Chains A and B, each alone.
Chain A
Amino acid sequence: MEMERQNDLNLKATELRLGLPGSDEQPEKRNNKRASSEMDNSSDGEKGDQECAPPTKTQVVGWPPIRSYRKNVIHAKKTEADAAGMYVKVSMDGAPYLRKVDLKVYKSYPELLKALQNMFKCTIGVYSEREGYNGSEFAPTYEDKDGDWMLVGDVPWEMFSTSCKRLRIMKGSEAKGLGCL
């Protein structure tokens, strides 16, 4: 991890900046609304030295105050997790609005399917390589990196979770086309 020492001796404390919410690269918005008008920064003469270049997301040593042991353990998990997937939209035919699921929370197809069934109160049924989800009311499909719509379950879980862009739970009748291939 790149670590830079904070060398600016708290010039940051007196600098004024504007930033848009949601834009991580923008520096922190310093609010000038003070609770009391007595708060006067003139006691330190360095007020004039305003930082022009925003340090933004430099890694500050020892901040936040988490023991390195814990940071290492959690960081390791996080990088594993980040690599595995993210929130994807899930639509179901006939449902009025979409949902989102966090793919990295699940480690296998059964887990994901169970969650989807709970979320949408539907029955998806059991996957088979030959028949897909034939016989079920619904079949789960996904859009992969190439923009193609695939049947959920064909490829190993890791491959699926890294390439899945969105999910769609199709009505069984429509899904027949996919399953028969």
Chain B
Amino acid sequence: MSHDPAEMSEDDERPPPADRGRAEYADQVLENVLENVLVFLTCRRDRNSVSLVCKSWCRAEALTRSELFIGNCYAVSPARATERFERVRSVALKGKPRFADFSLLPPDWGAHFAPWASAMAGAYPGLEKVYLKRMSVTDEDLAVLARSFPRFKELALVCCEGFGTSGLAVVANHCRQLRVLDLIESEVTDDEVDWISFFPDGGTSLESLIFDCVECPINFDALERLVARSSSLKKLRLNRYISIGQLYRLMIRAPQLTHLGTGSFSPSEIVQQGDQEPDYASAFAACRSLVCLSGFREIIPDYLPAIYPVCANLTSLNFSYANINAAQLRSVISRCHKLQILWVLDSICDEGLQAVAATCKDLRELRVFPIDAMENNEGPVSDVGFLAIAEGCRKLQSILYFCQQMTNAAVVAMSNNCPDLMVFRLCIIPRYRADRITGEPMDEGFGAIVKNCKKLTRLAVSGLLTDRAFSYFGQYGKLVQTLSVAFNGDSDMGLKYVLEGCSSLQKLEIRDSPFGDSALLSGLHHYYNMRFLWMSSCRVTRRGCREIARQMPGLVVEVFSWNNNAQDRGEENDIVETLYMYRSLARRVDAPKYVEIL
């Protein structure tokens, strides 16, 4: 939910008492009309604008908002949200800051779903959809969901933790209208409950069942029966406990699938030469609507040809768990002319990227993950593959690229060739690494990206960057909403450039960079426009953070470190290990002991 400003423009014009009755009637009619119109307004930014017009528009908008999006679960209390919006059918909640994914947030920090679950149980009996990202969700919370909402249809848990297979069983069993159960990159505890068997007998309404992140065995027979009685199933993503033989059996029961996660993509036992194996290729060929393929968790490359029949129609391919080489990738990718989204491991090498560049002219999103996360002098992908992509995939909108070496020239080339870039995330793994060829900082490359890519909204930087790079970001990055900085910059000036120049900045996450209080205080004019600021292992002191908290009461300023006790807060001049601050209409009541709220 976007920030609800302290002052809303109010309609102060009250008619004199004699005319009040008629005026109020007119207001009411207007509100009814407005509601009927606003029902069609779906974009939440538009809705937020509408709500600012005047009180009656705010009321009408609140009554017609059916999809509630809360980008920071601590920005507002559940009570306040449910009071304002009465008729909500779909809720999206985001919790922990993104750096939690990289173990930078101590455990048990918060983002508990429980208070939201209980508030919604009372307020939204008609609730149908829940989407949670980086929230802490317990089995009990899932039980509340399952019990409280008879029309519940869609549950998506992305990067969540705290629940297990027993919670899933409750959802499967009680939510009789369930269409979507998507578990994506979440941690699911193995309670040894056979949750798949808990889906009710008889036909289901399931359209999407995604459980590739669930790290425990599945009752395959129950799954097979479930798929057989789910005629609407379009999306099925299996976990790595499903062998290729089992995949085959599921595919022949569900040729209508559009999205398939293939599980392990290897046989469960050693297959001898001459063994009779099913015709996997024919199973793929039968899935004429397949457009998205993922999985390949324990791939044996011999089986790759099985997917050839669907390559021509694929728009999305996720090989990011498949340790395949350039030749193996080429055998597949050379057939994927319509591909728009590709995730791979760097095992494919620069050569593999060249193959991608040669065929996938429609590519919109590319992610290249490293097999080896250590800092090395060389790696399998570099500026060479990057340049090939820049030259071949002109429609690129989003890139995430991990490598050991990069050049400014390659990055500049991408900035010139790919004008549609909106998301640019380059991770040069060795910290402080300079241009491979010139030895210069990577300032010019990243600078070119912000300057030339006029649609850029998200930027993550790495390598050796001086304050000059940041001056470019401030000067040219007017649309940048999200910026991630790590081991970069020289001085406070770097952060100042960004805070003063990036007028659209909403999310700023910084680690291990030499920015201190002076820089922190230069952003006061902008912090209420932002969702959050994260700074860890920088140079801000408790004094600086306290000053922010003092001047901006609408922010929650959290300060914490891993070894902090309540008694042992430290001196005012001490550098703070982590600062996490965000605009909010609520005070946190559930902060753990190591979090100090200034």
Q: Mark A140-165, 1 if CB is under 8 A from B, else 0.
A: 00000000000000000000000000
Q: Contacts A28-B431, A43-B491 given: A64-B464 contact, CB under 8 Å?
A: no
Tell me if B468 and A36 are in contact (CB < 8 A).
Answer: yes
Residue with the highest number of chain A CB atoms closer than 10 Å, among B102, B213, B486, B489: B102
Q: Contacts A73-B321, A105-B325 given: A64-B402 contact, CB under 8 Å?
A: yes
Tell me if B369 and A66 are in contact (CB < 8 A).
Answer: yes
Which of B372, B441, B487, B539 contacts A35, CB < 8 Å?
B441
Tell me if B101 and A10 are in contact (CB < 8 A).
Answer: no
Q: How many angstroms from the CA of A33 to the CA of B439 in the assembled complex?
A: 7
Q: Mark A46-65, 1 if CB is under 8 A from B, else 0.
A: 00000000000100111111
Considering only CB atoms, which chain A residue lies closest to B464 in the complex?
A: A31
Tell me if A78 and B490 are in contact (CB < 8 A).
Answer: no
For the complex, is A130 an interface residue (Cβ under 8 Å from B)?
A: no
Which of B187, B427, B429, B467 contacts A69, CB < 8 Å?
B187
**Interface range on chain A (Cβ under 8 Å from partner):** 35 or more
Q: B65-73, B89-97, B219-227, B374-382: which lies at the A interface? A: B374-382
Q: How many angstroms from the CA of A44 to the CA of B213 in the assembled complex?
A: 46
Contacts of A73 in B (CB 8 A): 297, 321
For the complex, is B434 an interface residue (Cβ under 8 Å from A)?
A: yes
Q: Which residues B170-191 have CB closer than 8 A to chain A?
A: 185, 187
Q: Give the Cβ gap from A139 to chain B, nearest Cβ, in Å.
A: 20
Tell me if B512 and A64 are in contact (CB < 8 A).
Answer: no
Considering only CB atoms, which chain B residue lies closest to A107 in the complex?
A: B300
For the complex, is B320 an interface residue (Cβ under 8 Å from A)?
A: yes
Contacts of B514 in A (CB 8 A): 9-10, 13, 44
Tell me if A102 and B325 are in contact (CB < 8 A).
Answer: yes
Contacts of A24 in B (CB 8 A): 376-377
Contacts of B537 in A (CB 8 A): 6, 9-10
Q: Mark A8-25, 1 if CB is under 8 A from B, else 0.
A: 011011000000011110
Tell me if B371 and A10 are in contact (CB < 8 A).
Answer: no
- Seed contacts A62-B511, A105-B325; 17 additional CB < 8 Å A-B pairs: A5-B562, A9-B539, A21-B377, A29-B434, A31-B441, A31-B464, A36-B468, A39-B466, A43-B490, A44-B514, A60-B431, A62-B102, A65-B102, A67-B101, A78-B371, A110-B273, A111-B302
Instruction: Using CB atoms and an 8 Å cutoff, list the residues of chain B in contact with chain A.
Output: 99, 101-104, 159, 185, 187, 213, 273, 297-298, 300-302, 320-321, 323, 325, 345, 369-377, 402, 427, 429-434, 438-441, 443-444, 460, 464, 466-468, 484, 486-487, 489-493, 511-514, 537-539, 562, 575
The 10 closest A-B pairs by CB, nearest first: A62-B102, A31-B439, A43-B491, A31-B434, A10-B514, A67-B101, A62-B104, A64-B429, A62-B103, A65-B102
